[in-house]
Structure 1
Amino acid sequence: MDISLRPLRREDAHAIVAAEDDATVRFLSGGRSTVQGTEEYVDRLHREASEGRSKRAFGIWADGTCVGTVDYDPQVTDGLEPGDVNIAYGVAPWIRGRGVAVRAVELVCGIIAERGVGRRVAIRASAENPASRRVAEKAGFVFSHEMRSATDVDETGQPEMFRVFVLRL
């Protein structure tokens, strides 16, 4: 399977919304997405990039089909050390378990290293999301610590408990 990343575009909105399920909402987006809302999100990312903000998002493409997203954000500091770059990702349920998320994480790590964005990459995996922890481990990340978030909440409104995995660039 050919896996690649492309900077997120408005045209990807339909595929991104179609790839969303309850797990995506719970662990990534925090709410049901709409095509219009996703297009507005892409526009905001492009606007913020032109203003010098550093978050970047990519569509994950498997054999020519957009099957999810991956982003990096060095401005996320909750539970991370200075110089860490947070990575977040989500793939469509019909393609999970086939190495797509692992390969997307590897590819985005290469982009981060090439651009000199940080010294380490970090994945903050919910303690309730063993699949995300497996992706981190398969991509070569090592467990760093567990932390209660100061910014993210779970579905009950309580601070999210994260297991943080890191990879030195």
Structure 2
Amino acid sequence: MTTSEAAIFLRSSVSALEAMRAKGTGPVYIQGGGRGSSGSNQKCLYEKADLLAWQRANKVSSTVEAAVRKGQLFTTLADIAAVEAFWIDAHGQIVGMVELAPARLVIERLGLYDIEWLAVADAAAKAWSDLESHRELVGSLTDILARELTRGRSGLEASELAAESSPIAHSNHRNGI
């Protein structure tokens, strides 16, 4: 398939497919011409089997997982403190993150829902109308916090071990300090 046909097959755009090709994040392709061919504008072709394999390899089970995979969401403590846009319904409950909504849904919701900019951790502490999205967000926050706590405890343990084996610590202990 040509790039245009592959884009249609993937329900993408030619420019998105070209950008993925440049970054090395898209499906494998065949570059026109052989070894030593010159010219920068050689035709790229895609095999249907490769497009299907790439689609299967990029399956996700939630919008949060998709956003994390694309680098659009949070994976660190700094990320969960970052301010993001959230949809707010008429009852003041969070509907979801604006960034995770498909473009057509963003257009539909403009003017119907308020948008509030909140730290991700603050948004998790509020009431949501979409329970599943709220669970996904809190699950991600829990994973991040658990990982960071483990890192902190490991660092403290390393400091304690270092202090116990330090000649200064032994000298101070013998001298009653």
Shorter-chain TM range is under 0.3
Q: Please tell me whether Structure 1 or Structure 2 has the larger radius of gyration of its CA atoms.
A: 2
Question: Which has the larger share of helix?
Answer: 2
Question: Which has the larger share of strand?
Answer: 1
Normalising by structure 1, we get a TM-score of 0.25
Normalising by structure 2, we get a TM-score of 0.24
Per chain length, whose mean CA-contact separation is higher, i.e. which structure has more relative contact order (CA < 8 Å, sep 6+)?
Answer: 1
